Amino acid sequence: MADTVTLTINGQKVTVPAGTMVLEAAQQAGIDIPTFCHDPELSRPGACRICVVEIKGWRNLPPSCVTAVTDGMEVETESDAVVEARRTILELLLANHPEDCMTCQKFGDCRLADYAYRYGIRNTAFIGDKTDFPVDESSAVLYRDMNKCVLCGKCVRVCAEVVGRNVYDFTSRGFSTKVAPALDVGLGEIDESGCVSCGSCVAVCPVGAIVEKNMIGKARPWEVKKVKTTCPYCGCGCGFDLNVKAGKVIGVTSNPDSEVNGRHLCVKGRFGFDFIHSPDRLTSPLIKKDGDFVEVSWEEALRYTTSRLKEIKAQHGGDAMAVLSSARCTNEENYLMNKVARVAFGTNNIDHCARL
Amino acid sequence: MADITLTINGQKVSVPEGITVLEAAEMLGISIPTFCYEKDLTAPGACRICVVEIKGWKNLPPSCVTAVTGGMEVQTESPAVVEARKTILELLVANHPLDCMTCEKSGNCKLQDYAYRYGVTSPTPFEGEKHNWEADDSNPYIYRDLNKCILCGKCVATCRAVEERNVIDFASRGFNTRIATFMDTELKDSSCVYCNRCVTVCPVGALTDKTLMGKGRVWEFEKKEVTCTFCESGCKFIINYKDGRVVGVTAKEASAGRPLCLKGRLGTDLMNNPDRTDLPFINRDGEFVEVSWEEALGLGNIVEKINSLKK
Amino acid sequence: MTNSIGEIKDCDYLFVIGSNTTEAHPIISLEMRKAKNRGATLIVADPRKTEIAELADIHIPLKPGANIPLMNVMCNVIIEEGLYDKEFVANRTEGFEELKEAVVNFTPESYAGIIGVPADVIREVARGFAKASSAAIFYTMGITQHTSGTHNVLAVANLSMLTGQIGKPSSGVNPLRGQNNVQGACDMGALPNVYPGYQAVTDSNNKEKFSSTWGLEQSAKVGLTVGEMMDEAHHGNLKALYILGENPMLSDPDISHVQQSLENLEFLVVQDLFLTETAMLADVVLPGASFAEKDGTFSNTERRVQRVRKAIEPLAGKADWEVIAEILTRMGYPHEYCSASDIFDEIAKVTPQYAGISYSRLEQGSLQWPCPTADHPGTVYLHSGKFSRGLGKFTALDFEPPAELPDEEFPFVLNTGRRLYHYHTGTMSRRAKGLSAIYGEESIEINPADACRLSISNGDMVKVSSRRGSINAKADITDRVPQGMVFTSFHFSEVAVNFLTNSARDPIAKIPELKVCAVKVEKAC
């Protein structure tokens, strides 16, 4: 087999490794082909057909995500036939999609809306029944509205292939087809559903069928500032985006560029951030006076603290003092705590809870 | 002017006498929704979305036309206020096309923002007849879809502010009320000069700048404020970029005078004109030939020249 | 970790011992699943039938504390059958003869009882590990929180050196660190015996280096560990303690002792996000800033240095590093740090492993130490070609039973650990609404046979007592725990299991034996 293949996409010559799919070849050439069911990390069902392209000499419009490139192939990604096919697919999807973009949490980051806009689908020709599934609100962290589902199956596959939980699968047939946990229990009935609330399904859902419950009503995607940072929980060191609006952290979303974890997080990383704005947070220094804590200024707290420490150092020496640093604070803070012990106190009495 | 002290949502604030409750709230960073209010236009107090609760008052007054008084105790998000706003929004959404997916205004639409803020979604309790007016697509500049109009009247007021225009006004009554040109003609047959003040103030998707249609969603745009260079007025406007490419121009705000005339908005067409060339031409034997910059500027052998100087 | 997380998926033989990976390190467990889906063999040694144990090809339900016997038996089989990597042993190690002698009596048959699987299965595991093209060991506190903790780790090292399964891709010894920056805290010298970069305080060169860098004559005397601090405070020798973001009143063994010790201090400063159980005892409490409120770096379990970025302003007005720096200044040691980046530059100057790292490089992506120079790409796996000490040393080890074993009065073994939904002492995770809604109450796991014998039904309140205290919790009847063992986490102050645990410590690493103590279980009235 030749190592590379040269083909033409939209008149542009592209050379890619043999075995590459047309979709990826186009992506490498900077050409965007819409996809619903395709995900580079998951198996390829080639099911949704939105990624169809026209290839010279082929009779049908093959889905580009599962069509391997061949030498000399001539591909058109936005020909009239392709656009017509995509429009029909979108019209069929929109015919059975709730019209609540105004309040849908996904709006602004929704592929269905993006493609409807891209192909200008204002009205659908296929008026008919609409599904009326009850919304699954049983999970403490996820909100599932199967009326918005486009049956791309990515949640099914990510749960089976990456997370290994196999919580979801397709149930029923035809128009009634729906993605559900076993026996159609609520996701939140974790003993039955087996869901560990990791939210990888949220990270792959292209529409508003699965969204983070804690972000509903807090902000639209375009109002949010995303700040990439590192998770404060276990030692894996996962990366994610803190979503900030008006000086408040309103949620955590996957950042695909995270070296350790990609888009995947556990329940703590994705949903464990609201301690940040807990009403229990201390916002002012406290000094214990006659057995009770009294709020004081930073100036007073620091003056009092350092004068007491200096007294004790003068009276008992540095080795009567110690520092307990933190495995939850930053390297910079731990380094400075080092200096507090070894310079300011003058002792090697410093430790942290590595052993716990 | 003397300062007045009042309480808004439990926060004490001292403000100049004569300002409205809405303005006082803004000074505290409290956002009250508005449709018909516009800073530089006369407030009609019509849409009622800005109502607030004031201790001791029997009704819920619109904050945009209610002046502050000393000791006033205002609640901007009390249950009664929220209920009133939700009802207003439900009535508006009941007769609004639900095509946000393709609506150009999505992401910058007050109706959408407030529906999200107060959780008002279709179907509303007020399902009934919906307008099915044909959109006015008669001209190259403004797309008018009055099915989306919420009758805030800001387009009427801002048009009236331009000397000798007064292109539009309210027409008909009740459910059939609509904003119309004289004799309800299409815009192209009216005295409209497409200054787009109306587009700038429209809070929903009823008036759209056609040059931006299909170019991208507002949240995909990067914005840069510049001063127009076409005439001496020096209008401020915003250039919208998507993926590094200019897609269009929007007016900063409808301040006094024309915020941005047609010329200013159309200038961007020149930037992306396919007839534009990146390279210079040289007239050779009566014909223009495209050449490189080096050649046109006579810099072709500059490196050699420098090298020879070094020696 | 000597390997990287990204190498796990390519590993052919995964040997997980004392790690509840799916719950404590969920993202690492995803990589293990990838390896398994590729056809790798997964062996899990754990007394409990955890989720990762259920996923395993072979689950070894070893008795608590039987880690050295398991390792020694595997070494015995590998030596006996000549499966060890002779070239690696000859060129890269020393002490092979001592090891051979030490494990000679550790035959599979004689230890199958406490290891919990038949002799042939142990043989199969040993052979598989030795023959695999890449084999890696993963462990956590399940082997370290024992009085034999250090020796358990050395036993793991014996096995990987014997088979040459270290110093190459996807093969190595991988402790999975339990807290976001426990690796970094160690790297930064938040330890009583080393300066930043594991430079021993007893070494005169290091002492000199830091004396001159920091401008103050350094002490060569090794300091106190956490447990020793508590003891010294109890004796009245330690007068002042400055605690940053730790909650020993819930996390440390034998809480009553910790409380008496902290109360005995003349001056206690606690810097934390919340008024924790520990902060309640303080003279001064300084409000901390959460990870969202400050710039900095965390170093993860695979030595990866990653940026923490400030997303919002500190709620209390100051980031922790600003507070600490100010204390340094007021103590008479002024600083010149304008940002976290400035501190990092000083770290890079004194820490050889971090020397090539800077904030500007980290903007391009994270780096794994050692990264000695500004153009060094970082290190994916350790010990390639050479160990840090030169030759890898085998250690002859014998079985050391835990310090406190069940007896007639306290017939159960109490094992402790973590839950998927919570973290450490719960100060953060229990304030997350979603997590609390899913897992809002702690219970204690007990085997159905034991529960039946004690007439305990699922959900009954039980009283669990040790020689040091007692706690009440709901019974969770499950065969996840073997007969004779009960298990719970230390996340919940209502079920403060460390009232019961034994503070007996490993003599070398001073780690307490939190995985084994003797308790009795009764139905609470």
pTM (predicted TM-score): 0.89
Tell me the CATH number at B18: 3.10.20.740
pLDDT at B264 over 80: no
Per-residue pLDDT, C470: 93
In this prediction, residue C196 has a pLDDT band, given cuts at 50, 70 and 90, of very high
Rounded CA separation A92/A108 (Å): 21
**Interface check A183 vs C, CB under 8 A:** no
- Same structural domain, B190 and B264: yes
Report how many domains make up chain B. Answer: 3
C469 CB-contact burial (10 Å; exposed 0-12 / middle 13-18 / buried 19+): middle
CA distance A210 to chain C (A): 16
Backbone angles phi, psi at B7, to 5 degrees: -120, 130
Strand partners, B241: B222, B246
In this prediction, residue C336 has a pLDDT band, given cuts at 50, 70 and 90, of confident
Task: Please report residues of A whose CB lies closer than 8 A to that of C188.
Answer: 325, 331, 334-335, 338
Rounded CA separation A102/A197 (Å): 27
Tell me the CATH number at B114: 3.30.70.20
Q: Which of B81-90, B155-164, C403-412 has the lowest mean pLDDT?
A: B155-164
Per-residue pLDDT, A179: 97
Task: Please report residues of A whose CB lies closer than 8 A to that of B117.
Answer: 217
Q: What is the mean pLDDT of residues A115-126?
A: 89
C touches A (3+ CB pairs < 8 Å)? yes
Q: Which of residues 177-216 of C touch A (CB under 8 A)?
A: 177-193, 195-196, 201, 210, 214-216
- Same structural domain, B117 and B187: yes
Would you call A221 and B219 a contact, using CB atoms and an 8 Å cutoff? yes
Length of chain B measured in residues: 311
pLDDT at C343 over 80: yes
The percent of residues above 70 in pLDDT, for chain B, comes to: 93
Give the residue carrying structure tokens 């029923």: A172
**Crossing angle of the two packed helices A298-316 and C320-330, in degrees rounded to 10:** 50
- Same structural domain, B105 and B36: no
C366: helix, strand or coil:
coil
- Which one of A32, A87, A101 would you mutate to disrupt binding with B, by most B Cβ within 10 Å of its Cβ? A101
- Same structural domain, B30 and B56: yes
Of the candidates C350, C295, C514, which has an alpha carbon nearest to the alpha carbon of residue C417? Answer: C514
Residue B82 lies in a domain: no
Would you call A121 and B107 a contact, using CB atoms and an 8 Å cutoff? no
Q: Which of B7-21, B281-295, C393-407 has the lowest mean pLDDT?
A: B281-295
What tens digit of pLDDT does each residue of A19-68 get?
Answer: 999 999 999 999 999 999 999 999 999 999 999 999 999 999 999 999 99
Cβ count within 10 A of residue C34: 17
Per-residue pLDDT, B271: 64
The percent of residues above 70 in pLDDT, for chain C, comes to: 100
- Same structural domain, B122 and B227: yes
Rounded CA separation C344/C378 (Å): 17
Say which CATH topology domain A225-279 has: N-terminal domain of TfIIb (2.20.25)
CATH class of A4-78: alpha beta
Would you call C272 and A282 a contact, using CB atoms and an 8 Å cutoff? yes
Interface A–C counts its CB contacts (< 8 A) at 447
CB-CB contact of A304 with C320 (8 Å): no
Per-residue pLDDT, A123: 78
CA distance C332 to chain A (A): 7
Task: Please report residues of B whose CB lies closer than 8 A to that of A94.
Answer: 101
- Same structural domain, B69 and B186: no
Task: Please report residues of A whose CB lies closer than 8 A to that of B122.
Answer: 99-100, 102
Q: What is the mean pLDDT of residues B59-65?
A: 95
Does the predicted interface ipTM exceed a cut of 0.95? no
Give the residue carrying structure tokens 């004109």: B273
Would you call B107 and A108 a contact, using CB atoms and an 8 Å cutoff? yes
Residues 6+ apart with CB under 8 A from C440: none
What tens digit of pLDDT does each residue of C467-516 get?
Answer: 999 999 999 999 999 999 999 999 998 888 889 988 888 888 888 899 99
In this prediction, residue B255 has a pLDDT band, given cuts at 50, 70 and 90, of low
Per-residue pLDDT, C388: 84
In this prediction, residue C426 has a pLDDT band, given cuts at 50, 70 and 90, of confident
Per-residue pLDDT, C120: 94
Q: What is the mean pLDDT of residues A151-166?
A: 96
Give the domain extent around B263.
Answer: 92-271
Q: Which two tokens stand for residue B39?
A: 């800073």
Q: What is the mean pLDDT of residues B154-159?
A: 91
CA distance C222 to chain A (A): 6
Rounded CA separation C140/C182 (Å): 13
- Same structural domain, B103 and B138: yes
Rounded CA separation C374/C359 (Å): 11
Q: What is the mean pLDDT of residues C106-121?
A: 93
Mean pLDDT of chain C: 93
In this prediction, residue C14 has a pLDDT band, given cuts at 50, 70 and 90, of very high
C513 CB-contact burial (10 Å; exposed 0-12 / middle 13-18 / buried 19+): buried
Residues 6+ apart with CB under 8 A from C121: C58, C60
Distance in Å from the first CA to the final CA of chain C = 47
Rounded CA separation C450/C462 (Å): 13
Mean pLDDT of chain A: 94
Q: Which of residues 405-424 of C touch A (CB under 8 A)?
A: 420-424
Per-residue pLDDT, C350: 94
Residue B138 lies in a domain: yes
Cβ count within 10 A of residue B178: 17
In this prediction, residue A2 has a pLDDT band, given cuts at 50, 70 and 90, of low
Rounded CA separation C132/C275 (Å): 51
What tens digit of pLDDT does each residue of C210-223 get?
Answer: 999 999 999 999 99
Q: Out of A103, A116, A222, whose CB is closest to B101?
A: A116
Task: Please report residues of C whose CB lies closer than 8 A to that of A332.
Answer: 296-297, 321, 340, 343-344, 347
- Same structural domain, B49 and B188: no
Strand partners, B179: B170
- Same structural domain, B153 and B250: yes
Subunits with at least 3 CB pairs below 8 A relative to chain B?
A
Per-residue pLDDT, B35: 96
User: Structural domain boundaries of chain A?
Assistant: 4-78, 225-279, 282-307, 317-356
What tens digit of pLDDT does each residue of C284-305 get?
Answer: 999 999 999 999 999 999 999 9
Subunits with at least 3 CB pairs below 8 A relative to chain C?
A
Would you call B102 and A122 a contact, using CB atoms and an 8 Å cutoff? yes
**Interface check A103 vs C, CB under 8 A:** no
Residue B87 lies in a domain: no
Taken in order of first residue, the domains within chain C and their CATH numbers are: 5-176 (3.40.228.10), 182-368 (3.40.50.740), 412-523 (2.40.40.20)
Per-residue pLDDT, B253: 63
Q: Which of residues 280-309 of A touch C (CB under 8 A)?
A: 280-288, 293, 298, 301-306, 308-309
- Same structural domain, B70 and B163: no
- The amino acid occupying position B267 is G
Rg over CA atoms, chain A: 27
B touches A (3+ CB pairs < 8 Å)? yes
**Interface check B31 vs A, CB under 8 A:** no
Residue B46 lies in a domain: yes
What tens digit of pLDDT does each residue of C243-289 get?
Answer: 999 888 888 888 889 999 999 999 999 999 999 999 999 999 999 99
Q: Is the dihedral of CA C255, C256, C262, C265 positive or negative?
A: negative
- Same structural domain, B185 and B258: yes
Per-residue pLDDT, C367: 94
Residue B83 lies in a domain: no
Rounded CA separation C259/C250 (Å): 10
Would you call A94 and B98 a contact, using CB atoms and an 8 Å cutoff? no
CA distance A216 to chain B (A): 9
- Same structural domain, B220 and B256: yes
CB hemisphere CA count around A236 (13 angstroms): 29
Q: Out of A120, A221, A222, whose CB is closest to B102?
A: A120
What tens digit of pLDDT does each residue of A127-156 get?
Answer: 889 999 999 999 999 999 999 999 999 999
In this prediction, residue C37 has a pLDDT band, given cuts at 50, 70 and 90, of very high
CB-CB contact of C61 with C46 (8 Å): yes
